Amino acid sequence: MDLPGYYEYYCGVKIIAGHDALEKIPGLLQDLHASRPMIVTDKGVAGAGLVDIVLGAVKDQLTIGAVSDDVPPDSDLRVVNRLAALYREQGCDALIAVGGGSVMDTAKGINIVVSEDADDLMKFSGAGALKRPLKPLVAVPTTAGTGSEVTLVAVVKDHERHLKMAFVSYFLLPDVSILDSRMTLSLPAAITAATGMDAMTHAVEAYYGLSKNPLSDATALAAIRLISGNLVEVTRNPADREARLAMANAAALAGMAFSNSMVGMVHTLGHATGSVCGVPHGACMAILLPYGLEYNRHKREAVMGELLFPMGGSDVFARTPKEQRVDRVIAYIRQMNQDLHDASGGRHARFFKEVLDREGKRAVARERLPDIARTALGDGSIFYNPEDLDYDDFLMVLEAAWEGVALDPDRIRK
């Protein structure tokens, strides 16, 4: 195990996991001196009956101050302010965020407003603007992938002023994250697959990235082991509670890994593809992950080879000579995408030209690739990638990922 010359690591979120972890919320809130939480969620989550499950688990022991399912798919400043007002009106003293990334972002935004008594959220963006603990926040993730239940970032969009505000602070970390298998049992196969590959990407990029450290390594390895052993299985058999819980664990572990060692070019390109073409984040991650491995391979051969152990297991690892391990790792990820494609009835895309939008049309037109490459130049995740990429490199990777062909090793500038 490698010890870098310097590293930092922090994840002060209490993790509560289990098939009946939700039932622990009242006691946990009591430890945090709160008794009247507001539940924040979105229509999709509420419509799937997940809020009812949460309410059922806590209602005998807890007064719920307010429930709102108003969070839009894209976090929004007006919604943050409106829900903060509701929180105050109802005299709430804690937040329970039930949902995915946007719900977590919104809850974190509300928390800044109500804790700091802020009229302008903007004042609290930027490093070091928050200096003290906020109100208790309990995160209940309803997908197994984003890891936002253990991350310290919140992004809130001001759609009127066309601003994207990013908040980064340890005080934004949830106090508690609840990993309960019931929250993901009804997740459709394609979303299970894409979000699971999002978690896989977090772990893999954390493991080969420039900020890797012993704790991000250990959590990443654990996450990869769990995903490799459960994701295809649970996509085939969505009602498998054990596999659901394993994936919830994996997503949180991968979240800890990447929020401490950061991510690289797979995210750089994924963010850009998402913002230019609106492709869901998980789908981008699944498609781009093999290319992150191929592109950075010459800088990270030994480290990437180690990934075969948690992916393929002992026997495969022992049988594969060292110089072939990275090939096997890359092949393993591609095979996973293929298996998930099959298990989801073809809805899990393997390359960009296969991605469809809501109307069933091709979501990524080939002509848009230069736009994506240009957007990628402005994404901070590139700092943590082992090898450098300029516009031409981004475009080369995008073209390969669009077609679904391997990178030509001779075109990777070293």
Q: Which residues contact 85 (CB under 8 A, 6 or more apart)?
A: none
Site residues for other proteins, window 131-160 (CB under 8 A)?
131-133
Give the shortest CB-188-to-other proteins separation in angstroms: 22
The answer to whether residue 27 forms part of the interface with other proteins (CB under 8 A) is: no
Give the shortest CB-350-to-other proteins separation in angstroms: 28
**Per CB under 8 A, which region of 98-106, 219-227, 281-289, 364-372 contacts other proteins?**
219-227
Long-range contacts formed by 1-8: CB under 8 A, 24+ apart: 1/214, 1/217, 2/212, 2/214, 2/217, 3/214, 4/212, 4/213, 7/211, 7/213, 7/214, 8/213, 8/260
Q: What is the CA radius of gyration of the chain?
A: 21
Q: If we measure between CA atoms, which residue out of 320, 336, 337 comes closest to residue 328? A: 320
Structure tokens at 349: 């895309």
Q: If we measure between CA atoms, which residue out of 290, 211, 289, 206 comes closest to residue 255? A: 206
The answer to whether residue 358 forms part of the interface with other proteins (CB under 8 A) is: no
DSSP character string of 134-156: -S-EEEEESSSS--GGG--EEEE
CA–CA separation, 157 and 74 (whole Å): 8
**Per CB under 8 A, which region of 15-23, 71-79, 100-108, 188-196 contacts other proteins?**
15-23
The answer to whether residue 279 forms part of the interface with other proteins (CB under 8 A) is: no
CA distances to 78, 81, 105, 106, 312 from 161, rounded to whole Å, are 11, 15, 18, 18, 49
Give the shortest CB-207-to-other proteins separation in angstroms: 13
CA–CA separation, 293 and 138 (whole Å): 35
Query: How would you class 190 by CB atoms within 10 Å of its CB: exposed for 0-12, middle for 13-18, buried for 19 or more?
Result: buried
Pattern 248-277, other proteins, x by CB under 8 A: -x---x--------x---------------
The answer to whether residue 414 forms part of the interface with other proteins (CB under 8 A) is: yes
Which residue number, 20 or 89, has a Cβ lying nearer to other proteins? 20
Which residue number, 118 or 317, has a Cβ lying nearer to other proteins? 317
Give the shortest CB-200-to-other proteins separation in angstroms: 15
Alpha-carbon dihedral 396, 401, 405, 408, rounded to 10 degrees: 30
**Per CB under 8 A, which region of 73-81, 101-109, 121-129, 398-406 contacts other proteins?**
121-129
The answer to whether residue 19 forms part of the interface with other proteins (CB under 8 A) is: yes
The answer to whether residue 391 forms part of the interface with other proteins (CB under 8 A) is: no
Which residue number, 219 or 344, has a Cβ lying nearer to other proteins? 219
Which residue number, 37 or 386, has a Cβ lying nearer to other proteins? 386
Among 48, 64, 153, 215, binds other proteins (CB under 8 A): 215
The total of other beta-carbon atoms located within 10 Å of residue 308's CB is 23
**Per CB under 8 A, which region of 52-60, 61-69, 103-111, 377-385 contacts other proteins?**
377-385
Q: What angle do CA 101, 102, 105 make, to 5 degrees?
A: 85
Q: Would you tell me which residues interact with other proteins (CB under 8 A)? A: 1, 3-12, 14-21, 24, 31, 33, 126-128, 131-133, 166, 170, 209-211, 213-215, 217-219, 221-222, 225-226, 242, 245-246, 249, 253, 262, 306, 309-310, 314-315, 317-318, 377-380, 382-384, 386-388, 413-414
